Amino acid sequence: MPTTLLSKFTAGATVLAACTAVAACRTARTSDPMADKCVTSVGLVEGAPASVVTQGGGCKSPTRAAAFPAEWRFKAGEQGTMAPTAMVASNNALASAAGDEIMKAGGNAVDAAVATGFALAVTFPFAGNLGGGGYMVIRMADGRTAAVDYREIAPLAASRDMYIGPDGKLTNESVVGYRASGVPGAVAGMTAALAKFGSKPLREVLQPAIRLAEEGFTVDSVLFASLRGSRAYLERFDGKTVFYPNGEPLQPGTRFRQPALARTLKLIAEQGADAFYRGEVGDSLVAGMKRGGGIITKEDLARYKPEMRQPIASTYRGYHLLTMPPSSSGGVTITETLNILETYDNLPPFGSVGYAHALASAYQRAFIDRNSKLADPAFAQVPLDKLTSKSYARELRKTIANDKATPTPTLERTIAEGMHTTHYSVVDGSGNAVATTTTINNGYGSGVYLTGPGFFMNDEMDDFAAQPGKPNMFGLVQGEANAIAPGKRMLSAMSPTIVLDPQGKLLLVVGAAGGPRIITATSQVILNVIQNHMTLADAMRAPRLHHQALPDTLRFESAGLTPAVVDSLRAMGWGIVSTGSVANVNAIMRIPGGLVGVTEPRDRGPSRAVGH
C-alpha cells in the first residue's frame, strides 16, 4: 500500500477540536470559525453530534478539525444555520420557509415536508414537481417509521423495447418529449404521507404553495440563468409562452405568477389526490399528453398507488440508519457500502490513498449488485436480506486487495452477474424527522410543460434499462431486472436517509440530488459525520469521490485529492479522473440544544436551511 499522504493538508487530521464555551453563536449563516465550537445563548453547540458531547458541563467532543487538501475550494471550519427547535433544509429558500411556516403554526415534520414539497413544485420548477415522483423516509419521535415510495410507474402502454429504434439503437425518447414520462406519483405520495403521519388538513399545508403560485415570487438570477441555459430544450414544448414571455427567459427581479398551477393546487386542496388521479387535473394531463403523442391514460392515473414500505434498517459502528428500500437502489447500495467499510477495523484517514481505495472498492462492489440485481420488488426477486447482510459484506471485503484496484469486469464475474432532482430534510420540535427526495429526472424533466395543469412532466422512463447492458443518461449499465414493463417502477438512486445515534436518538437527516452520485455523496456525508467526526458544515464541504462500477472510473472532485494521492491511486490501477461537483446534498443534524442545517455548498442557487 502506498504511503498515506497528508502532508499538503490544511490541518492535522487528529487535532481535537477545541470545545470552549465562548463567542455568541449567531443563529443565521455565519463564517465565524469560533462559532463552530461554541455554546450559544440558545444552548447550541456545533462541532459534534449531540450524542458525543456532554451537555451542561464538561465537553468530551471527539470531533476533529477537518483536513482538506490545500487547493480544495472550501475551507474547513465554516458554520451551518442553527435553530433551537425545528428546521427545513431544501434547494429553495421560499420552499424551506413554507415548511417552517407550517411548523410554526403547530404542524409536525410531515406537515412541513408536504408543504415544502408542494412549494418546491411552484418555486423550483427545475426539479420540484407535481409531474414526477420520489421517496420519503419518515421517523416519528414515538418510534414509528415509514418509507413512502411514490416513484413513477411505466404506463400500461409501455413495452420493453419501446425506446429501441429500427437500427437497434436507443432513441432519445426516454429522455425528451411526451413518451419519456412515467405516471407521476408525487401528489399521491405526499397526500398519503400526510394522511398517515401529518397533523394538519391538506388544504392548510397547501396554502403556502397556493399563495406562491397565485401571488407569484421574484425571479432570481439563478432561475433566469437556468432558463437561459435550457432554452433549446424547453422552447420545443408548450412551456415556451410561460417561461419565455416575449421570447426571453423570465427576467431577474420580475414577479412570476402561475395561475394554472395555482388552480391545480386549489383543486388538490379541495378534492385531495383524486383531483389529480381521477378528476379535472388528471383529465387535463391526459389530454395534454395525448396531443403531443404521449401514452399516459386515465386508466394509468386511476391505477397509480404509492407504496407504504418499511425503511431498510442497518447499522454502522453502532449508529442506526433508516434508508430507502427498492424500488430505489439508494438504501441497499448505501447499506452494502457501509457494511463493507465497517469490516475495516480502522479505516485509513480521510483524504488518504487508503481511504479513497477503500471507498471506491466498496462502491464498485455495491454498484455491481445495484446495477444487476435491484429493481421494482413487485416485478423482480430482489435478494434484499443477502445484499444488506454483514456476512455478505465480509465476503465482498475478501475480494478487495490492499494494494491494487480490481477491474469491474473481473469483479462482475467473481460476484456472478452480469440531472435533476431535489432533496429536503425536515425536523420538528418533537424530534419527528423526514427525509424526502423527489425528481422529474432531468432538469425540467422531459421538457414537456402542460399548460392546462401548469407543470412539467418527468422523463423518468430513462431510469429503466431501456436496453439492458447499454448505458442510460447517467452512464449506468443496468440489467434485465430493471427492463421496462407496464406498471413497473423504474429503479432509482434516490437515498433519503435518517441516522440515529447509538442510543437511538435522532442524529442526521440527509439525502441528495445527482443521479447515481446521490448514493456516493449521501454516504460520504454520513461517513464524514460518524466515521471522520466532522461538523456537519465540514462534512458537507469535504471533497467527494464517486465510483459506480461502470464506467470503471474513480472520479474525484477537482483538487479534492492531492496530486500525490491521485498518482498513488493511478499506480494501484484505478482509472481515476477529476470531475466537477458530486451531487447536491441538503442535511440537518441534531446538536446539543437544537439543530444545524447545511444546504449544498457547491450550489450557488437559493438553497437554504430555515428554522426557528
CB of 327 to ligand DON, least distance (A): 9
Q: In a 3-state reduction of DSSP, which class is residue 433?
A: strand
Distance CA 135, CA 516 (A): 15
Among 101, 463, 538, 600, binds ligand DON (CB under 6 A): 463
Q: Which listed residue (49, 184, 514, 592) binds ligand DON by CB under 6 A? A: 514
SS3 content of the chain, % helix, strand, coil (to 5): 35, 20, 50
- 37 vs 517, beta carbon nearer ligand DON: 517
Residues 6+ apart with CB under 8 A from 105: 200, 204
HSE toward the beta carbon, residue 522, CA cutoff 13 A: 39
Stretch that binds ligand DON, among 70-78, 206-214, 352-360, 512-520 (CB under 6 A): 512-520
* Residue 314 backbone class (left: φ over 0; alpha: ψ -120 to 50; beta: rest): beta
Binding mask 479-508 for ligand DON (x = CB under 6 A): -------------xxx--------------
Tell me, what amino acid is at 178? Answer: Y
Task: Provide, rounded to whole angstroms, the least separation between the CB of residue 204 and ligand DON.
Answer: 30
When the beta carbons of 81 and 421 are compared against ligand DON, the nearer one is 421
- The DSSP 8-state label assigned to residue 482 in this structure reads G
| Residue of 63, 191, 264, 421 marked catalytic | 421
Q: Which is nearer to ligand DON, 184 or 198 (CB)?
A: 184
Site for ligand DON in 443-462 (CB under 6 A): 460
Pairing of strands 554-557, 576-579: parallel
Shortest spacing between CB 612 and ligand DON, in angstroms: 29
3-state secondary structure (DSSP) of residue 183:
strand
Q: How far is the CB of 441 from ligand DON (least distance, A)?
A: 4
Helix (H) or strand (E) segment spanning residue 205:
helix 202-205
437 or 553: CB nearest ligand DON: 437
363-422 binders of ligand DON (CB under 6 A): 419-421
Least separation in angstroms between CB 174 and ligand DON? 11
Give the residue with the Cβ less far from ligand DON, 38 or 545: 545
Please tell me the distance from the alpha carbon of residue 513 to that of residue 520, in angstroms, as a whole number: 11
Q: Considering the rule CB under 6 A, would residue 174 count as an interface residue with ligand DON?
A: no
Residue 438 corresponds to which cell in the numbers above? 423527489
Give the span between the Cα atoms of 470 and 466, in whole angstroms. Answer: 8
Contact yes or no for 456/448 (Cβ under 8 A): yes
In angstroms, the Cα distances linking 148 to 194, 288, 307, 354 are: 11, 28, 6, 37
By CB under 6 A, the count of residues binding ligand DON is: 14
Q: Does residue 331 interact with ligand DON by CB under 6 A? A: no
- x-marked contacts with ligand DON along 117-156 as a string, rule CB under 6 A: ----------------------------------------
Contacts with ligand DON, 192-221, as mask; x by CB under 6 A: ------------------------------
User: Does residue 596 touch ligand DON according to CB under 6 A?
Assistant: no
200: left (phi over 0), alpha (psi -120 to 50) or beta: beta
Cβ contact 470:164 at 8 Å: no
421 is an active site residue: yes
- Least Å distance between CB 125 and ligand DON? 14
Considering the complex, state which of residue 138 and residue 513 has its C-beta at the smaller distance from ligand DON. Answer: 513
Interface with ligand DON (CB under 6 A), residue from 335, 439, 532, 607: 439
Is 336 a binding residue for ligand DON by CB under 6 A? The answer is no
Q: How far is the CB of 419 from ligand DON (least distance, A)?
A: 3
Q: Cα torsion at 203, 207, 208, 210 (round to 10°)? A: 110
Question: Smallest distance, Å, CB 433 to ligand DON?
Answer: 22
- The least CB distance from residue 222 to ligand DON, in Å, is 15
Binding residue (CB under 6 A) for ligand DON from 79, 388, 438, 441:
441
Secondary element (H or E) of residue 263:
helix 259-271
Burial track 173-184 (b if 16+ CB lie within 10 A, e otherwise): bbbbbbbbbbbb
Closest CA to 600 of 558, 543, 540: 540
Tell me whether residue 349 or residue 515 sits nearer to ligand DON (CB atom). Answer: 515
- Which residues of the chain form contacts with ligand DON (CB under 6 A)? 419-421, 439, 441, 460, 463, 492-494, 513-515, 518
Give the catalytic positions in this structure. 421
